[in-house]
Structure 1
Amino acid sequence: YGYEYLGNSSRLVITPLTDRCYMTLGAAMFTRRGGNPLGPAGTGKTETVKALGVALGRPVVVLNADTSFDALAMSRILGGIVQSGCWLCVDEINRLEPAVLSLLSEQIAAIQQVLRRGASSMAFLGKEMPVAGNAALFVTLNPAGEG
């Protein structure tokens, strides 16, 4: 990530399911879409996204969603991700308030459309901002709101 030393990090155990998840997420990123690993709580959805980021040399920001997030905070986070080229993984997106989730969905769709077009900038939050083409967006959720 720009030649800074990050130290040794723990590694995810690679299983055939992890490989399949890597391939699926990689194909989604190739088409400039995000990914949504789905499964029960504690099965490694977020850790898999983080491990893929490490394997590809991309910084991954994990945002643990809850009802305290408002729309403006989420928008600012998305803007920073798009400008910096980091990956964002919104963990347990189902915990967001419906109004915030709706706005987040619209903004993610707009960002993915800009990434697919290969544009170098986009209008976001009333301003023109640069777009780093290597940004990626992921969400995780637990079925039926478990966990």
Structure 2
Amino acid sequence: MDLNKLQKKTQELKQLLDPKRAEKQKQEEKKKAMTKGLALGALLGSVAGIFFAPDKGENTRKKTKEELEKIKDNLQTNIVEGKEKLDINLAEGKEKLAEVYEDKKVVFSEKVSAIKEKVKSSCEPNVVEEEELEEKKALVEEEV
């Protein structure tokens, strides 16, 4: 299973286990989209400002290089943060799945035990001891 499918399944499980998490994720996605939009706007604005500024080519290249370094550092930071969040989310998902599994395991084992008891009680032979048999014979003979 590739990483994207695993991430998608993990997200689906998290949403099933915690409905509030879906709302929280939507808010986080909106924040991320806003941040990306602002970053892209700032990037385009700075590039436009650099290229339209009446400055020497050497200075323009230097400024452009500095801006690209900032963007590179920002991207690396975002990637590291994304990996950390993914690890945390996977760990939380594993914990919740383990809890659900244990809860369901207990319930399942209780139900299996109850079913076994019902089957066992219905399958037990009807044993009559000799004394009871003698008493029943005597009662039958008295009636006849």
Mark yes or no: TM-score above 0.5: no
Structure with greater proportional strand content: 1
Structure 1 length as normaliser, TM-score?
Answer: 0.21
Q: Which has more helix, going by share of residues?
A: 2
Larger gyration radius, structure 1 or structure 2: 2
Scaled by the length of structure 2, the TM-score of the pair is: 0.22
